[in-house]
A and B are shown apart, each in its own frame.
Chain A
Amino acid sequence: MPSNDSVQTLYSDHHGWLHAWLRSKLGNAADAADLAQDTFVRLLQRGEQVQLNTPRAFLRTVARGLVIDHWRREELHRAYLEALAHLPEASAPSAETREVLLELLERIARMLDGLKPKVRRAFLLAQCEGLKHQAIAEQMGISVRTVERYIADALYHCYLLRFEDER
């Protein structure tokens, strides 16, 4: 656990710089302020040593991950609202259901990050649509064996992320 002192020092020396850097990425002062705070909170929560010899490179690495999470959330919200707009009004989910689903989608999207597009697509066709391997193979124009391998690979990828702390 990093000591509160070292995070305190980082904060007072580099918070202004980090805020400016985030603002240049996000083009928005309010979001930049939020993510700058989140970056330091993340440091306090993390188990690893704060690297004080290259503080700005270190802060940038942590902050960049948060920027991508922020964009992912924004894009998911936007794509979700667009998809809902095409549904008949009667089948629109409640606000509560939307929240639950968006949270789940965000967790899944983050887990699937880094998978090849075809692996990801085969996996999602099974998980979201409940398609059989044969149907996925036909839709994607690949063999059933390849579909099986893609889905197993995707699950193993998720397994490693989900249980990495418990190994």
Chain B
Amino acid sequence: MTTAAPSAKAVKQAIQWMLRLRESGNSPVLLQQCEQWRSARHEHELAWQRVVHLHQDLDLRAIPGAGVALQTLETSQRRLHRRQALKLLGCAAMAARRHGWPKTSIPSAAGLRITRLPRASGVASSCPMAR
């Protein structure tokens, strides 16, 4: 027999329990209540196990040298978005030229308030708007 996946409701409850326990520093009272919730239904226990695994996978505090993780993730995400945005601008500009649209209808990088360009040569060399 295959085990059915827990419902969205059970998963969301499991997430709530996990966050409450984490915030309380595993308060014994909450731990006991959480155990009661888990044992009430098989689905609860399954949702709990999955959420705990997921949380462990995403726990950066457990990794040595992770002190720079937040900065690395935030900076790289910002740059990735900028890169994707510029790439789209480049494609829009090329399409516009191909279709002979007037130049004034092409959005400029300044118009979209992109103030700094990525240093990656790949973008600059193939994206006309980035020059």
Binding site for B on A (CB under 8 A): 24-28, 31, 68, 71-72, 74-76, 78-80, 82-84, 87, 93, 97-98, 100-101, 104-105, 107-109, 111-112, 120-121, 124-125, 127-130, 132-133, 148, 151-152, 155-156, 158-159, 162-163, 166-167
Contacts and interface: CB of A to CB of B under 8 A. Distances in A.
Contacts of B5: 163, 166-167
B67 to A, nearest CB: 8
A149 to B, nearest CB: 10
A87 B123 contact: no
Interface string B19-47: 10001000000000000000000000000
Given A101-B69, A128-B69, A109 B77 contact: yes
B88 to A, nearest CB: 11
A79 B54 contact: no
Contacts of A111: 58
B72 A76 contact: yes
B121 A27 contact: yes
Contacts of B120: 74
- For the residues of A in contact with B, the DSSP-based class is helix
B50 A159 contact: yes
Given A111-B58, A128-B70, A163-B50, 13 more contacts: A28-B122, A71-B84, A76-B73, A79-B76, A80-B76, A83-B75, A101-B66, A105-B72, A108-B73, A155-B54, A155-B55, A158-B58, A159-B54
Nearest to A85: B68
Given A68-B84, A152-B19, A163-B5, A129 B55 contact: no
B68 A25 contact: no
